Amino acid sequence: MHDSKRFLHPEAIKRIARLDLRARHVVEGFLSGMHRSPYFGQSVEFLQHREYVMGDDLRHVDWKVWARQDRLYVKQFEEETNLRCTFLVDVSRSMEYGRGPLNKYEYACTAAASLAYLVLRQQDAAGCVSFDDKIRQRVPLRSKRNHLLAIAEALAVSEPQDKTDMFAILSGVAETYPRRGMMVLVSDLLTDQGLLLKGLKLLRQRGHDVLVLHIMDDDELDFPFAGPTRFEGLESPDFLNCNPRALRDGYLEAVQQFLDHIRRECAKNSVDYQLIRTSEPLDAALVTFISRRLGSMSRK
C-alpha cells in the first residue's frame, strides 16, 4: 500500500544531512500529503474591546466608548505582523539519548527547523533559541525565506551538553521577547518539573502562545531493557546497577505520573502539549503546530 508519509519517517529523514534541506523535505512532504492547504489569514483590523486595567497603554483607550458609556475600554487589534514564532530547543545532554535513527536532539532540531520553514513559508517571522543551562544560540525573529538557513545553522552548531535549567531559560526568553508571539518549546522536559511549569506559566502571563513538543525516546516510554544493566545518568553522576525487568513497572508508573502531571498542568495554563516519540514520523509535530495555529485563530 502506498504510504504518503513515507518520506516523513525518521529513517528517511536521517539520510538528509543538512538540517534546512531536512526541514524543506519534511514540510513539502507533509503538505503534499494533505487534502487542503491550511488557512493562514492575516488582518490589521479591529479585533475586540477589553476592559481597561491598570498598566494598559492609554493610546489604546477607545474614547468614543468612554464618551457614550463612561467606561474605559481599550481596543485590541490584530498584530501587524502575521506570526512571531520562537522555537526554544533543548540541547542539554539528556537530549543525546536515542537508539533509533534519530536521537532526541536530532529529532528536536529537525522538528524545529521544519516548523520554522513552515512559518517562513507563510511570510511569518521565525526565531530560535537553543539552550541547556543557559542560552547557547539565539537567532532573532525574521520573516525572510532564507532565514531558515540561519536557524538551521544555529541548531546544527549546538552540541548537547550540561543540564537543563528550564526556569532560568524561560524567564530569560520572556524578558528577551516582550512582544507576544508563539513560543514552541521542544524538549524532553527532564528537568525540575516545578521550575518548568513556573517558566511556562510566566510565558503565558506575558501573553505568549506556548506550545510544548515533548520529545521522548521509545526506550524512555517503554523501558524494554533486560539483563544486568548499569544505567548511568546523562546529566547527573548517578548510576544504578540493576535488573531492569524488576524495575520496569515502577519506572513506567513514575513516567506516567510525570506525563500526566505535565499534561494536566499544561492544560491548566492553556499550554498546548504534545508528546512525540522519536520513532514517530515528523508530521506529528507539524499537525500539532497547525492545530495550534487553527485553534488560536478560532479563539480569536
Partner 1 sequence: MQFVYTALTWGFLLALVPLAIHLINMMRHHRVRWAAMDFLLASYKKHRKWIWLKQLLLLLMRMAAVALVVAMLAKLVSRNQWSALLGSKATHHFVLLDDSYSMSDRTGAATAFDAAGQVMARIAAEAGQSDFQHKFTLLRYSQALSNGSAGGNGQDKPADTLLDFNAETVDANFDVRLEEKRRGFEVTELSIGPTAALQLIRQFVTDATQDQNIVYVLSDFRAIDWEAPTAAKEALKQLQASGAEVRFVRCVRNAQANLGIEAIEPTGDTRAAGVPLFVNVTVRNHGDQAVRRVQVKLRTTFFDASQLNTAAPQANVGVSEDLPVVLIDEIPPGETATERVQVYFPAPGQHVVEATLPDDPIAADNHRFSVIDFPAGEPVLVIDGNAQQRNAFYLTSAFEPGARANTGIRPEVQSPDYLRDTTAAALQRFRTIYLLDVPQLDARGVKNLEAYVRGGGGLGIFLGPNVNYASYNSTLYRAGQGLLPAPLDREDELLADPIEHKPDIEAERHPIFAPLLDEQNPLIRLVNIERYVRVPASWQPAKDGTARVLARLRNLAPLAIEQAYGEGRVVLFTTTAAPDWNGWANDPTFVVLALKLQSYLARPPASDQARRVGTPIVVELETSRYRPEVKFLVPGPRAGNRIVIERATAPPTDATTFTVAVGQSPTSPTGIGETGRAGYYDAWPTTLEGQVTPRRLALNVEPREGHLALLEPSAITSKLAPAKIEFSHFDDDLGVTGDAGNNLSLPLLGLLVALLLGEQLLAYSASYHSLPQMVH
Note whether 241 binds partner 1 by CB under 8 A: yes
Pick from 249, 261, 268, 295 the residue near partner 1 by CB under 8 A: 249
174, 242 in Cβ contact below 8 A?
no
For the sheet containing 135-142, what is the strand order? 135-142, 125-131, 84-90, 182-187, 209-216, 272-277
> Look-up: residue for cell 510525570?
258
Specify the residue, 241 or 298, whose C-beta has the smaller distance to partner 1: 241
Pick from 28, 78, 96, 133 the residue near partner 1 by CB under 8 A: 96
Specify the residue, 103 or 110, whose C-beta has the smaller distance to partner 1: 103
Note whether 297 binds partner 1 by CB under 8 A: no
Note whether 20 binds partner 1 by CB under 8 A: no
Note whether 194 binds partner 1 by CB under 8 A: no
Specify the residue, 3 or 249, whose C-beta has the smaller distance to partner 1: 249
- What span, in angstroms and rounded, lies between the C-alpha atoms of 27 and 113? 10
- What span, in angstroms and rounded, lies between the C-alpha atoms of 246 and 227? 10
| b/e map 252-283, b = 16+ CB within 10 Å | eeeeeeebeebbebbeebebbbbbbbbbbbbb
- What span, in angstroms and rounded, lies between the C-alpha atoms of 98 and 267? 28
Note whether 40 binds partner 1 by CB under 8 A: no
Note whether 247 binds partner 1 by CB under 8 A: yes
Min. distance of Cβ 131 from partner 1 in angstroms?
Answer: 16
Note whether 263 binds partner 1 by CB under 8 A: no
Pick from 13, 95, 108, 173 the residue near partner 1 by CB under 8 A: 95
Note whether 245 binds partner 1 by CB under 8 A: yes
Specify the residue, 40 or 223, whose C-beta has the smaller distance to partner 1: 223
Total residues contacting partner 1 by CB under 8 A comes to: 40
Identify which range of 109-117, 144-152, 197-205, 223-231 contacts partner 1 by CB under 8 A: 223-231
54: amino acid identity, one letter: M
Question: What value does the CA radius of gyration of the chain take, rounded to a whole number of Å?
Answer: 21
263: amino acid identity, one letter: R
Note whether 205 binds partner 1 by CB under 8 A: no
Note whether 228 binds partner 1 by CB under 8 A: yes
Q: What is the dihedral of CA 275, 217, 254, 232, to 10 degrees?
A: -150
198, 167 in Cβ contact below 8 A?
yes
- What span, in angstroms and rounded, lies between the C-alpha atoms of 274 and 113? 17
Interface residues with partner 1 (CB under 8 A) are: 93-97, 104, 188, 190, 217, 219-220, 224-236, 238, 240-243, 245-251, 253-255, 258
